[in-house]
Structures are given as C-alpha cells and as structure tokens.
Amino acid sequence: MTLEIKEVDAYYGLVKVLTSVDFNAAQGELIGVIGPNGSGKTTLLRAISRILRPKVGTILLDDRDILKMKDREFSRNFAVVPQDTAVNFDFSALDVVLMGRNPHLGRLELETDKDLSIAKRSMELTNCWHLSERPITELSGGERQLVIIARALTQEPRVLLLDEPTSHLDINYQIEIMELLKRLTTQEGLIVIAVIHDLNLAAQYCDRLALLHKGQIAAAGTQEEVLTAANIKKAFGANVIAKRHALTNLCYVSPVPSHLNGSASANAAKATIHLICGGGEGAALMHVLTAKGYKVTAGVVNLLDTDYEVAQLLNIPIVTEAPFSPISDDAFQAHLNLIDEADVVVLCGIPVGYGNLRNLEAAEAALEMCKSVLVLDANGAGARDFTGGDATKRINELKTRGALPVMTQVEMLEKLKLIQDRVAKVVTARSKT
C-alpha cells in the first residue's frame, strides 16, 4: 500500500497555500509533518482528507485517485483526527467510538455485535476501554484524544491522518499517543501522517519527516536529513543546536538562547571570564556565565571532553589538546594568551594529574599578570589530586598569593559581580576620555 501526493497546489479562494507538494508514504510508516505556523501543515491534511480539493496535482492510494472514490469507500480507507476534538453532547465514550462504524453501515442500519467488537478492540488499542461508559464531556483532554483516535480506528482505515494530536496535552499523554501511533504502523500496518508541533517528539517516533515552509516542502527524509540547524533556521527563523542524543542515538533540537546570538559588542562592558577547566567541570559555568552576558573563554581541555563540546555549542573560544595527551608548549602558550585577554580567571574544581598539571601553572601565571583569580572548591583539592600532593600544594600556594577561594557557584557569581562593577566603571571612565 502506498500513498502518493504528487505536485499538489492548494488554494483558499485566490490565496495559494500549497505549492508543488510532493512526497509519499508506504504501508507501516509514520510520517511527521512539521513546520512553523502558517506553513500549510493543516492545509496538507485537508487536501489528503478531501476537505480541500487541490487545484493542481493528484493524491493516489495504491495508484487510485482519491478524488474519484465514492464517499463511503473513501471513509473506509481514510480516517481523520482533527486538531479540535471537542464534543458538546453527553455521549458516552463508547457511543462516540461507535460513530466510526458509520461508513460500514447502511442507511438506518444499527450497529451489530461485530461493530461493538471492533469498537471495543479500538478502545483497547488506545487504552481507553475503561472509559467506555463515561460521558465524553467529563474526560480530560488526553482521555478525550484517545477516544477520538479510537473512533478513527473503528472506521478500520488504511490511512490515519492526525492534526497535532499531542498539542496541549501533558507529557504522559503525549508519549502514550505517540507510542500508540508507532504501534499502529508496526503492528496494524497503517499509514499514519501526523502534524506534530514538537520537533523532538517527531524525531523520537517518526520514520520520516516532511518540513513545510511557506507552503512548500523545504526538506523531506530521515530525521538526520531534515532536522539540521540550517533547515530549522530557514523554516522557523530560529537558531538551534541539532545533535544526536547520547542515550537514544536520535536527533534532538535545542534552541540557542538569544543572548548567545548577539554580537560581541553586546557584552563589551562585561568582564571577560576565563575558565581553567576540564573533565566537565566548566560546562555548567559556561552556561551560567554566558546567560548572564559575560564573555567566556576556556582551556586547556582535551578534545571530546564535555567542556570542549559545550564550548563548541556556545561558541566559546577554547584551547584544546589531543585526547589523553599532556599539555604541549603550544597549547600552554595559547592558554596564556587567552588568560592575558581576560579580566577574571576561574580555576574550576578539576581533577589534576601530571597530564594537566600545567593548568595550575597557568593559574599561577594569571596572578603574575595581576589578574583576579578565583579558586572554586579549593578545600576539596586533595580529593582531586592525582599528583602525589603536588597539585594540592600549588592550589594552597595560589590562595596565599592572593587567589580568592570560593566554595559555591553562587559565591563565585557574587565575587564576579563585584569585579564586574569595577570593570564597568573603568570602561565608562575610558569612554569619557
């Protein structure tokens, strides 16, 4: 079984809404339709469900033009779950589900035991049989959505169309509905086409995605092909990070906060903070400091370290070294160069071994450059010392030479605020001269 949408144009009056939309779906596929508001997602479903007749192009189910199907035949092949599933009459949930048998009944024909059996199975598939006697008006949004999907399944369709089936639902119902749609494709062999607002939910469950932008398909294919930062920027106008999740190996999209998209001049009056980090100890601080508008630099960390990955995502200048390698002279000098440009140096609570001992030497050099140096969690240095005590000794010497020990992130931010105020006064004074 295949569903083909071929070069479809659709209009509302004289307004063209879809242009040359072309894609297909095979039996057992869950296709996610994504895109910004007004991109034509709902219009596409209307065209497939024959609510809106395309002016150009054809829609074929197994090579048959759906517009040439009789209404009853069409309803036996296609079922629709609309965006608005409100029911204003006190029908029981079972009565609502049984309405899905209408395409299979003759005029004035009543439901039989077979119809009731099909309705029950549909409600069991959607995990809502226990609601069968409850009035539909008394159900929660998630429960009502399950009932409406059961009604659609009771039509015994080959193609199921859903318009934002998880909108405004709690996460438990979002997951339950998406798990259900996935089962309907894998176990029941349906073609499911769903407009999905949540990009990460679409990536988690859909076999393929179609990204609409201004009534056209901007990208179609696997999640890797569609959910790219460039595609999202083009369609939504939003800056995002598109990566693979370490646990699921599926794509996920995270927005880049607006303060990370600005020019460097936006933070011109802010202090520059250099983090001596590694082993993931700088990642949280990178987020916190950039969110507060500070310019941040970092080093020296090994490539593929968590701190390195976060710095890449946040566009933070960072000095790196090869994995499992000691800090080279070139990396050390580049580190000193970043420290020289900074107003404040923060020595994070890093584990110290012989391979990265030169990071403490860099902190010592920062004091010689008359930089403000903060030592985070200095009292816990002994537990992170893998140099036989040398690292602990040097951290204690940093404190005696003027480095400020701070125990918590909050305390560190308070110290930075005081230093920032001094920097701002200097910048202001310079601007007046």
Residue 433 lies in a domain: no
Q: Residue 36: what residue type?
A: P
Same domain, 149 and 57: yes
Q: Which residue type, as a one-letter code, is found at position 9? A: D
Name residue, tokens 């608005």.
Answer: 84
Residue 85 lies in a domain: yes
Is residue 92 domain-shared with residue 234, that is, in the same domain?
yes
The partner residues of 266 in beta bridges, in order of sequence, read none
Residue 57 lies in a domain: yes
**Angstrom distance (rounded) from CA 393 to CA 381:** 9
- Picking from 25, 12, 4, 21, the residue whose alpha carbon sits closest to that of residue 56 is 21
Report if residue 432 sits inside a domain.
no
In a domain, 337, yes or no: yes
Of 236, 255, 274, which one is at a domain's C-terminal end?
255
Instruction: Give residue 258's pLDDT.
Output: 58
Check whether residue 352 and residue 215 sit in a common domain.
no
266 and 409 inside one domain: yes
138 shares its domain with 163 = yes
Q: Specify which residues 302 forms β-bridges with.
A: 321
10-residue mean pLDDT profile of the chain (433 residues): values are 95 94 95 95 95 95 95 94 83 94 85 93 93 93 92 95 89 91 93 94 94 96 92 89 76 70 49 91 89 90 85 88 89 95 93 92 94 85 88 92 90 85 67 65
Tokens of 58: 């054809």
Comparing CA positions, the residue from 356, 314, 364 lying closest to residue 339 is: 364
CA-CA-CA-CA torsion sign (206, 211, 212, 213): positive
Q: Is residue 205 part of a domain?
A: yes
- CB under 8 Å to 187, separation ≥6 — which residues? none
Q: How confident is the model at residue 266, as a pLDDT? A: 44
Assigned domain for 49 exists:
yes
Final residue in a domain of this structure, among 255, 287, 315: 255
The answer on 130 and 200 residing in a single domain is yes
Report the CATH number that the domain containing residue 275 is assigned in CATH: 3.40.1190.20
Residue 257: alpha-carbon gap to chain centroid: 13
User: Which CATH number covers residue 220?
Assistant: 3.40.50.300
Task: List the Cα angle 306/310/313 in 5-degree steps.
Answer: 145
Q: How far apart are alpha carbons 10 and 18 in whole angstroms? A: 5
**pLDDT confidence of residue 259:** 52
Same domain? For 132 and 194 the reply is yes
The domain in which residue 165 lies consists of 2-255
The alpha carbon dihedral of 95, 99, 100, 102 has a sign of positive
Residue 111 lies in a domain: yes
Q: Identify whether residues 44 and 164 lie together within a single domain.
A: yes
Whether 250 and 267 map to the same domain: the answer is no
CA R_g for the chain:
30
What's the first-to-final CA gap in the chain, in angstroms? 77
Which pLDDT does position 80 carry in this prediction?
95
Other residues' Cβ atoms within 10 Å of the Cβ of residue 86: 10
Q: Rounded to whole angstroms, how far apart are CA atoms 17 and 8?
A: 10
Give the count of domains, the chain: 2
Residues 216 and 291 grouped into a single domain = no
Helix H, strand E, coil C: the string for the chain is: CEEEEEEEEEEECCEEEEEEEEEEEECCCEEEEECCCCCCHHHHHHHHCCCCCCCEEEEEECCEEHHHCCHHHHHHHEEEECCCCCCCCCCEHHHHHHHHHHHHCCCCCCCCHHHHHHHHHHHHHCCCHHHCCCEHHHCCHHHHHHHHHHHHHHCCCCEEEEECCCCCCCHHHHHHHHHHHHHHHHCCCCEEEEECCCHHHHHHHCCEEEEEECCEEEEEECHHHHCCHHHHHHHHCCCEEEEECCCCCCEEEEECCHHHCCCHHHHCCCCEEEEECCCCCCHHHHHHHHHCCCEEEEEEEECCCHHHHHHHHCCCCEEEECCCCCCCHHHHHHHHHHHHHCCEEEECCCCECCCCCHHHHHHHHHHHCCCEEEEECHHHHHHHECCCCHHHHHHHHHHHCCCEEECCHHHHHHHHHHHHHHHHHHHHHHHHC
Residue 355 near residue 286 (C-beta atoms within 8 A):
no
Residues 61 and 206 in one domain: yes
pTM, whole model, 2 decimals?
0.68
Picking from 223, 255, 287, the residue at the C-terminal end of a domain is 255
Tell whether 214 and 303 lie within a shared domain: no
β-partners of residue 220 are 210
Instruction: Say how many C-beta atoms besides its own lie within 10 A of residue 106's C-beta.
Output: 7
